[in-house]
């Protein structure tokens, strides 16, 4: 297993590293964790600053090796735009997951804003965003999964099977309300597929129908709080403002949710590994 952790030496990067280690502990104790520090183009020509960053990364990497006895932790300094470089590095390394910290919509836009949406929408590597360190309790015991009528919802279901292995996760599904009968039928079809898949894999789940009144995103957070969720899983859908692709408001608010719940972000065309 290979996990990439974008590293800018901030507190939230440390949170991401700790999550990566906990995930590896369950799914592959001998996993590789790649600490990736991205520098802006042109900086590599400034020898003094680069040497300082290399030393800082080497020290950080050495400290990180103490988080797991069998983990293989390496540090990598790359030049480029932070958004494209993270995606390209993860794909070139054939990473299974990118874990990164974010703590606000402003911080989020650095990675997922109008110029950065390609990170997820074009990446074939899932991104787990975290806002705080993992709890001492077992990870990912209660996953909240919003379910809609789009055919791309199938992506999430396959990833539930792949990414919750070993965690004994209970999946809490909140089905979106649609006044349109055609969309309701498509949702029913998605739920029927989900039940067959989860029953066949022995995955515990609960399905609840969202109310027709009130915002679905508000209901999601209320539902997550009610069930004690410690993970959201969403498919990132791209909307357009002018000529630039942007992250839609609901996805932004989910990733930077006020409950500080980690979010596994998938692109609709991802191939399940």
The verdict on 114 and 20 lying in the same domain is yes
Helical (H) or strand (E) element with 247 = strand 244-247
Same domain for 146 and 212, yes or no, is: yes
- The answer on 209 and 233 residing in a single domain is yes
Distances (CA, A) of 16 to 64, 77, 217: 12, 18, 25
91 occurs within a structural domain? yes
Distances (CA, A) of 22 to 13, 18, 252: 14, 6, 25
Pairing, β 263-266 against β 127-130? antiparallel
pLDDT value at 253 more than 60? yes
In this prediction, residue 48 carries a pLDDT of: 79
Last residue within a domain, chosen from 67, 97, 130: 130
Domain that includes residue 193, residue range: 142-266
pLDDT reported for residue 240: 47
pLDDT bucket at 243, cuts 50 / 70 / 90: very low
Same domain, 50 and 166: no
Q: Are residues 252 and 147 in the same domain?
A: yes
Q: Decide if 77 is inside a domain.
A: yes
**Looking at the structure, do residues 177 and 246 belong to the same domain, yes or no?**
yes
Q: What is the pLDDT of residues 102-113, one digit of tens each?
A: 865 555 555 555
> In the block, which residue shows the tokens 């998938």?
266
User: Same domain for 124 and 80?
Assistant: yes
Report if residue 160 sits inside a domain.
yes
Task: Choose one of 73, 106, 130: the last residue of a domain.
Answer: 130
137 inside domain: no
Q: Is residue 234 included in any domain, yes or no?
A: yes
Q: Which of 93-107, 110-124, 176-190, 205-219 has the lowest mean pLDDT?
A: 110-124
> Which of 7, 22, 242 has the alpha carbon at shortest distance from 133?
22
Comparing 27-41, 55-69, 87-101, 258-272, the range with the smallest average pLDDT is 258-272
Tens of pLDDT, residues 153-192 = 888 898 899 888 899 999 999 999 999 999 999 999 999 9
Residues 6+ away with beta carbon under 8 Å from 14: 101, 133
pLDDT of 18-74, one tens digit each? 999 999 999 998 899 999 998 877 666 677 788 888 999 999 999 998 887 788 999
Burial of 34 (0-12, 13-18, 19+ CB in 10 A): buried
On whether both 114 and 215 belong to a single domain, the answer is no
Decide if 36 is inside a domain.
Answer: yes
* pLDDT recorded at residue 115: 44
Identify which has the larger pLDDT, 263 or 248.
263
Pairing type for strands 244-247 and 238-241 reads: antiparallel
| Domains: count for the chain | 2
**Residue 60 belongs to a domain with what CATH number?**
3.40.50.620
Q: Is 273 inside any structural domain?
A: no
Q: 249 or 209: whose pLDDT is higher?
A: 209
pLDDT at 114: 45
Residue 266 clears pLDDT 50, i.e. is over it: yes
Question: Same domain for 69 and 20?
Answer: yes
Range scoring the smallest mean pLDDT among 20-29, 175-184, 229-238, 239-248: 239-248
Both 59 and 161 in a single domain? no
Decide which of 103, 130, 157 is a domain's last residue. Answer: 130
pTM for the structure as a whole: 0.89
Residue 198: pLDDT above 50? yes
Round the average pLDDT of the chain to a whole number and report it: 86
Instruction: Note the pLDDT of residue 104.
Output: 52
- Mark whether 66 and 89 lie in a shared domain: yes
Looking at residue 45, its pLDDT comes to 63
Out of 118-127, 143-152, 254-263, least confident range: 118-127
Note whether 89 and 209 are same-domain residues. Answer: no
**Position 135 in a domain:** no
């Amino acid at each position: 297993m290979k996990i990439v952790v974008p590293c800018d030496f901030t507190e939230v990067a440390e949170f991401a590293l700790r999550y990566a280690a906990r995930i590896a502990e369950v799914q592959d104790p001998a996993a590789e964790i790649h600490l990736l520090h991205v520098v802006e183009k042109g900086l590599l020509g400034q020898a003094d600053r680069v040497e300082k960053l290399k030393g800082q990364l080497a020290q950080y990497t050495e400290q990180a090796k103490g988080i797991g006895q069998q983990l293989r932790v390496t540090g990598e300094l790359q030049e480029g735009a932070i958004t494209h470089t993270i995606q390209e590095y993860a794909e070139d390394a054939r990473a299974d997951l990118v874990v990164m910290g974010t703590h606000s919509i402003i911080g989020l836009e650095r990675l997922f804003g109008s110029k950065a949406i390609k990170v997820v929408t074009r990446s074939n590597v899932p991104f787990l965003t975290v806002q705080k360190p993992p709890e001492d309790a077992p990870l990912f015991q209660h996953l909240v999964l919003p379910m809609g009528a789009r055919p791309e919802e199938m992506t999430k279901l396959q990833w539930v099977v792949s990414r919750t292995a070993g965690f004994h996760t209970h999946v809490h599904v909140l089905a979106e309300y649609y006044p349109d009968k055609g969309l309701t039928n498509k949702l029913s079809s998605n739920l029927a597929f989900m039940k067959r898949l989860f029953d066949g894999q022995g995955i515990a789940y609960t399905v609840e129908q969202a109310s027709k009144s009130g915002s679905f995103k508000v209901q999601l957070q209320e539902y997550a709080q009610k069930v004690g969720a410690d993970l959201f899983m969403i498919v990132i859908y791209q909307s357009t403002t002018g000529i630039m692709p942007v992250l839609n408001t609901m996805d932004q608010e989910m990733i930077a949710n006020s409950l500080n719940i980690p979010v596994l972000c998938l692109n609709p065309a991802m191939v399940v590994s």
